[in-house]
Amino acid sequence: MEDAEVRIAAFDWLRRAVDAHGDVLARELLAKGFEFRGQRVPFLGPQGIFKPKVLQALPLSITTAPSGPYDDSFGQDGLLSYKYRGTDPQHKDNIGLREAMRRQTPLVYFHGIVPGRYLATWPVFVVADDSRTLTFSIAVDEMSRAERALEESARKEYRVAEDAVPRRAYITAVVRKRLHQQAFRERVLEAYHVECALCHLRHRELLDAAHIIPDGEPGGEPVVNNGIALCALHHAAYDRCLIGIRPDYGVVVKSAILKEQDGPMLRHGLQGLEGGVLRVPRVASSRPSPEFLAWKWERFKASA
């Protein structure tokens, strides 16, 4: 029963951590973990498949490093893919995940987005094992299903509900979209050193990754050179064409806004941007694409 209690405590801690810090959590926070009956329970370690000492047999979490395109984390079936540790199917860590699949034990999945920052997804279940490709398939499920699975596991009843496959496929697809959004945000913020490119605000919780070509438009891909790190105010103003950014990075404020008279927020937050220059990343490949900026600039001029 203690295994189930540890997992429930871990899921509850993660919920509170996400409420406090957002979907993407720092490695230092996860490595510190939480206390359970006087024992420290970290969430991850040097290896991707991680079992804290408090657990007897099965791992608590799986982690991917922030390298390569995030689509590499998904198989053709739309489920999360997770590579074996090494090439030996009988490595103890691989055996642990295989046993978690047999027992239908819920785990936590940490997807590395940028160095030191992870998107936490839980509960996840190992649903398939392919020794040919050295890959496990992972599906996301509802929290209520995790609690039920833990109760059944305590009674040595390892069952998969009849409706599990379509439900898990749907939930995993939602997680995939969330992963894309968060990966875009974190990679853009890192490129701009976690600073608004217009006003230089450096509070991560108040910063967004603003699309130049909007998501859903042709060309509106979640890539760094289609994004700009902006505070919430300037993100909204850019999206609504109250401010414009030329392809040469010059900043223009809508003429109607310049004529208004209001308090210091208008004067310093918007009007003061007129004639300025967007601060861009040092790495050329991370800078806003002039082609993308030209697309948005035309819409700004049309709105004026």
pLDDT at 38: 93
Q: Which of 92, 71, 70 is nearest to 186 (CA)?
A: 70
State pTM to two decimals: 0.84
pLDDT at 263: 80
Compute how many other C-beta atoms are within 10 angstroms of the C-beta atom of residue 133. Answer: 10
Q: Which of 198, 168, 207, 206 is nearest to 269 (CA)?
A: 198
248 or 146: whose pLDDT is higher?
Answer: 248
Pair 223, 173 in one domain: no
Pair 238, 142 in one domain: no
pLDDT at 84: 93
Pair 142, 219 in one domain: no
Q: Please give the average per-residue pLDDT across 279-301, as a whole number.
A: 96
Pair 74, 42 in one domain: yes
pLDDT at 119: 94
Pair 233, 267 in one domain: yes
Pair 36, 164 in one domain: yes
pLDDT band at residue 200 using 50, 70 and 90 as cut-offs: very high
pLDDT at 63: 93
Q: Please give the average per-residue pLDDT across 18-32, as a whole number.
A: 95
Which of 147, 167, 188 corresponds to the end of one domain? 188
Q: Please give the average per-residue pLDDT across 85-101, as a whole number.
A: 94
Q: Please give the average per-residue pLDDT across 16-45, as a whole number.
A: 95
Pair 174, 225 in one domain: no
304 or 263: whose pLDDT is higher?
Answer: 263
Pair 122, 204 in one domain: no
Which of 188, 223, 250 corresponds to the end of one domain? 188
Q: Please give the average per-residue pLDDT across 246-275, as a whole number.
A: 92
pLDDT band at residue 116 using 50, 70 and 90 as cut-offs: very high
In the chain, what is the greatest distance between 2 CA atoms, to the nearest angstrom?
A: 72
Pair 201, 289 in one domain: yes
Pair 96, 218 in one domain: no
Mean pLDDT value across the chain: 92
Compute how many other C-beta atoms are within 10 angstroms of the C-beta atom of residue 165. Answer: 12
What is the residue range of 265's domain?
Answer: 196-303
Range with the lowest mean pLDDT among 9-13, 165-169, 188-192, 243-247? 165-169
Q: Please give the average per-residue pLDDT across 43-52, as a whole number.
A: 93
Pair 203, 124 in one domain: no
pLDDT for 133-176, tens place per residue? 999 999 999 999 888 888 888 787 777 877 888 899 899 999 88
User: How many domains does one find in the chain?
Assistant: 2
- Long-range residue pairs from 38-47, CB within 8 A, at least 24 positions apart, any chain: 41/6, 41/9, 41/10, 43/10, 43/14, 43/108, 43/110, 44/110, 44/118, 47/85, 47/93
pLDDT at 70: 46
Pair 158, 208 in one domain: no
pLDDT at 160: 81
pLDDT at 72: 53
Which of 129, 158, 188 corresponds to the end of one domain? 188
